Structure 1
């Protein structure tokens, strides 16, 4: 319920944060005197930054003339479109620490390198509930820091179950659709303690509470290039590195993170791009 991709982040086929400023086109060369500038921190993606400032990733891309939005790097300065004084209030706080791995296309863990986006429920709009992942800061600055040990690879790589579509992780009414989540995922109403099931065979690349606004979050990388995210969990039954099968009980629905009532925030990402999960879920 990984609020909009502002950003489920950390969501393996996902946005990567490079450790060094290699790209030239993504570097902010000149900054307008009245513009608000954000410095990319570890654990942030373009979507998490967008969520933090309540703007769209596309708006940031256009404001900075990015040709490759998935190549942002730690320490890079980017212009955030909007009123500087308003944006400054949403910016990083000195005491906030970030924790999450990046949803990397190559299946990199979500510990400190990237993040996923997530959202809220009807009680709170995705953007309002989960501060930009910094969310995926207000989805970004997190308190606990996830361990950065490498992802243990299974003896044999997971294979798809053979089903045409992903399975619903939980049964319930969709209370926030993809559009209203600012393009991050959907929120499904579910009583606290309801079993949450893996949408498809895969490997857990992140399990923790290091993404502010998402509460307990699990990210699973699937053999078909997708990464699924499950947020606001009450309990988590799997750990990073666990290989799961379609339908396995990975945790229970809850209201951890930035939501007021029990629900599940669910995301699907193809590469670095969040997609509407509903058309990809079995009816």
Structure 2
């Protein structure tokens, strides 16, 4: 009985990680690839007859060793530009006569225009950390313990709990097939899984669970990849 319970908890945690990493399994367009479990950048590069360096440039990756399940990567030259790296191995053998220009951040499906979803600020307070796409996959808002946390957009609660290390008491809202938002480090969760919420509805209270200060860590994900929430939020 104990082992069965542990297994169920592990499966639930694994499902949460997959959910946070990917909003869905929608097909990607030609020239793009959705990262699967067990993939590495060198493996993806070999499969698509490209160099690791080219894929890093085209996707503006800050850390080639950190790719996420569900992340959509450009694996073909942007804008129809011929690839000069061809089947160059990731070890760097061979040479290129020209350097392909990196794709603009908004050209990949994983970097949708902010107009695709409209958000309200999930909490009042001071933004103490902004999105950088690398070490920070969202924004951190600091305020007093108990400050109301509200739904940034209408949606359904798909996770409410503390089973993901580093997030504390966490809520995940799914807004449609492509977008979800995550609200971490809450003191109290006020909604349950499966519950529908409206824009601006109070869903939690700010806290410091699994962090060293009172704050809300807020993420916006599009097709499984973190994008800058500030682009979809009104100016303050």
TM-score, normalised to structure 1, is 0.46
Identify the structure with the greater helix proportion. 2
Aligned to 1:234: 187
Runs of 4+ displaced beyond 4 Å: 27-30
Work out which of the two has the higher radius of gyration on C-alpha atoms and give 1 or 2: 2
1:268 paired with 2:228, answer: no
Structure 2 unaligned residues grouped into runs of 5+: 1-15, 26-35, 44-60, 72-115
- Aligned residue in 2 for 1:14: 23
Q: 1:279 to 1:209 in 2, by over 3 A?
A: same
1:34 aligns with none
3-state SS of paired residue (2:231): helix
Q: Which has the higher contact order (CA 8 A, sep 6+)?
A: 1
Q: 1:26 aligned to 2:39?
A: yes
Partner Cα separation in structure 1 for residue 209 and residue 149 of structure 2: 14
User: Residue deviations 1:127-175, cap 9 Å, x none?
Assistant: xxxxxxxxxxxxxxxxxxxxxxxxxxxxxxxxxxxx9620000011110
1:16-41: per-residue Cα shift (whole Å, max 9, x none)? 7xxxxxx79938999xxxxxxxxxxx
Residues 148, 204 of structure 2: 8 Å contact kept = yes
* Cα deviation code 1:214-252 (max 9, x no counterpart): 110000000262100000000001111011000111010
- d(CA) in 1 for partners of 2:37, 2:200: 44
The answer (yes or no) to whether the contact 2:170–2:185 under 8 Å persists in 1 is yes
Alpha carbons 2:22, 2:70 under 8 Å: kept: no
Measured after TM superposition, the shift of residue 70 of structure 1 is 2.7
Deviation, 1:197, is 0.3
Unmatched 5+ residue regions in structure 1?
1-7, 17-22, 31-54, 62-67, 72-162
CA deviations over 1:63-109 (Å, ceiling 9, x no partner)? xxxxx9538xxxxxxxxxxxxxxxxxxxxxxxxxxxxxxxxxxxxxx
Distance 1:250 1:182, change over 3 A: same
Counterpart of 2:65 in structure 1 is 59
Alignment map for 1:191-230 (pairs within 5 Å): 191-223=144-176, 225-230=178-183
**Alpha-carbon distance change, 248 to 206 in structure 1, aligned in 2, over 3 angstroms:** same
Contact preservation (8 Å) 1:183, 1:276: no
Aligned counterparts, 1:88-167, within 5 A: 165-167=118-120
1:178 aligns with 2:131: yes
Per the alignment, residue 248 of structure 1 pairs with: 201
Structure 1 CA distance for aligned equivalents of residues 183 and 201 of structure 2: 13
For residues 196 and 24 of structure 1, what CA distance do their matches in structure 2 show? 33
The CA RMSD over aligned residues, in Å, is 3.6
- What is residue 232 of structure 2 aligned with on the other side? 280
1:53-92 residue pairs with structure 2 within 5 A? Answer: 58-60=64-66, 70=70
In the alignment, the residues of structure 2 paired with residue 192 and residue 216 of structure 1 have an alpha-carbon distance, to the nearest angstrom, of 14
Number of positions where the alignment pairs a residue of Structure 1 with one of Structure 2: 149
TM superposition score normalised by structure 2: 0.54
Q: Is the 8 A contact 2:162 2:170 kept in 1?
A: yes
Is 2:160–2:172's contact at 8 Å kept on the other side of the alignment? yes
Superposed displacement of residue 213, structure 1: 1.4
In the aligned structure 1, how far is the partner of 2:37 from the partner of 2:181? 32
